[in-house]
Every structure is written in structure tokens, then in C-alpha cells.
Amino acid sequence: MDYRLLYKAANNYEAYFIQGLLKNNLIKSQLLGENLSVGIGELPIDVIQVDILVPKNKLNESIKIISDYEKNLKYKENKIEWICKDCKEINPENFGICWNCNK
Ligand SMILES: [Zn+2]
């Protein structure tokens, strides 16, 4: 089958996680680079990038899954601290005033 590069994971754990996400959507993926760590004993395992490949005919579907994953990641990174009383928008904790209505 014809495989295409979908995503470069930062480490093995992320690669396996994404592979799991794809599997949940019935997409079979291949990981490239996960065994490199065997030859590079000095480097911590988490600095090794892993390429995730998916079948060409599943690429578009997979890109959508990955972009949802990245959105969730960003959402978690921004700690949500408060909700504006005036417009009900959610503001990150480091915002002093509402980003939406400046109140
Ligand atoms: Zn507001």
C-alpha cells in the first residue's frame, strides 16, 4: 500500500497515542523512527522524532483527526480561569480584562 507522511511526533509516546487515535477511526498507520533509540543510547528517548505514515487514500481523513488532536492540545495548554460576566466569553487566567469586550 502507498503510505504518506502524516505527522512528525515529538516522541514515541505521542506517536503511539496518535496511532491509537487513528486506530479508533479504523486507519492503519506505520511509525518510522521508533527504533532509532536503540542505536542512540546517549539521547533521552523523548527527543527522538517519529514519523507517522498513513495510507494515501486515508490521508485527508487522518489530517482532520490530527488537527482535532492539536486543537485539544492547545485548549489544555491554556488554563481557563474565568468567564466574563458581560459577554460570557471564556478568558485565560493571565488576562486581566475580557479579550472580547474589554470589561
Ligand atoms: Zn466580555
pLDDT value for 56: 96
Residue 68: what residue type?
D
The whole model's pTM is what? 0.60
Burial of 25 (0-12, 13-18, 19+ CB in 10 A): exposed
The predicted-structure confidence for 19-68, as pLDDT tens digits, reads as follows 999 999 999 999 988 555 545 555 555 556 889 999 999 999 999 999 98
Separation of CA 90 and ligand 1 centre (Å): 8
Cα separation values, 77 from 5, 9, 56, 86, 93, Å? 26, 18, 31, 25, 11
Rg for the chain, CA atoms, rounded: 19
Domain architecture of the chain: domains with CATH: 3-78 (3.30.70)
Separation of CA 78 and ligand 1 centre (Å): 17
pLDDT value for 2: 92
DSSP for residue 8: E
The predicted-structure confidence for 63-101, as pLDDT tens digits, reads as follows 999 998 888 776 666 555 788 999 988 887 777 889 899
Separation of CA 83 and ligand 1 centre (Å): 8
Separation of CA 91 and ligand 1 centre (Å): 8
Separation of CA 100 and ligand 1 centre (Å): 5
